[in-house]
Copies of this chain bind each other. A is one copy, B any other.
């Protein structure tokens, strides 16, 4: 591997400049990806190792990114469980058999990843053989997966999810148990296949109060991170809208916590504590604006953390499809350039 800046930053070791990768860096903002999507749907790409590898590598070949992230959909491992879903364009996952009662949970089968998602593991091996930066594997977190399964389609209020949680706590905990087992095995299999770090996406967990997070979610996320500890790879814990959950998320024990733009990065780092690395936190919508704005907001983020070891530059959530590629290219360069000079300045002191 020619560049291990990202892995070093995860371990809070000094780096020559701040590493950068982006959520949804292989996505619709790339012409090459859109062209592929004219021929294949998302699930076909994700399930065909050659195509999956090609898409995963696209952004790393185009920009000086410091990590690649496996191209996949968080719903993939659920298919073998018996979940019947489709990915609707501009909407997201729609589940044809949403979870509404205990029997629905009992019907979910936990299948070994080697049997359920062999294509993902094969894609990882393919990608690794061609990649010169670290490869990040990922999974949806139990809460976020549960919210899709229960709501049946993307939600703003998550009221069905909360309702099940409050009205049938036993069903909720049983569902979380199964998803925890699934996610843990899925991530362990990804590491065995070759990923060098993992990110747990609890994208929608910010809809909960701290009390609910602690009672209904934290024990499961913690079990996943603890179940990965022996593998000695950096573990990233990410969610949006988590400004008031950060201390609790820290208790789930990962090396890195990813935060969104709602909280200034320095304030987030204070709350998490210096014993953790941090990832974030540019609002991806910023990239839809002029370069001047992207530059200004990026500079603010970098100034807040002052190139302290342990910062991984990223967005607060994934790229929007309309993101101009030009802004992405300049952003990668800008972060590297700004933080190299800082490092140099520090050495001179």
Interface contact B290-A167, CB-CB below 8 Å: yes
Does A288 contact B320, Cβ atoms closer than 8 Å? no
Number of interface residues of A (CB under 8 A): 35
Question: Is A286 interfacial (CB 8 A cutoff)?
Answer: yes
A291 to B206, CA, bound (A): 24
Beta-carbon contacts of A140-180 to B below 8 Å, as 1s and 0s? 00000000000000101111001101110000000000000
> B residues within 8 A CB of A212?
283
The distance from the CB of A265 to the nearest CB of chain B, in whole angstroms, is: 11
B167 touches A262 (CB 8 A): no
Contact for A264 among B159, B165, B210, B241, CB less than 8 A: B210
Distance of A165 Cα from B289 Cα, bound (Å): 8
Counting CB contacts under 8 A, is A84 at the interface? Answer: no
Of B166, B241, B267, B290, the residue contacting A285 (CB under 8 A) is B166
Contact B285 A162, beta carbon cutoff 8 Å: yes
- Name the contact of A163 in the complex, choosing from B263, B264, B267, B288 (C-beta under 8 A): B288
Given A166-B293, A244-B264; 13 other pairs, CB 8 A cutoff: A158-B285, A159-B285, A159-B288, A162-B286, A163-B285, A163-B289, A166-B289, A166-B290, A167-B289, A210-B264, A211-B300, A212-B283, A244-B263
8 closest A-B pairs by beta carbon, nearest first, are A166-B289, A162-B285, A209-B261, A163-B288, A244-B263, A243-B244, A243-B243, A244-B262
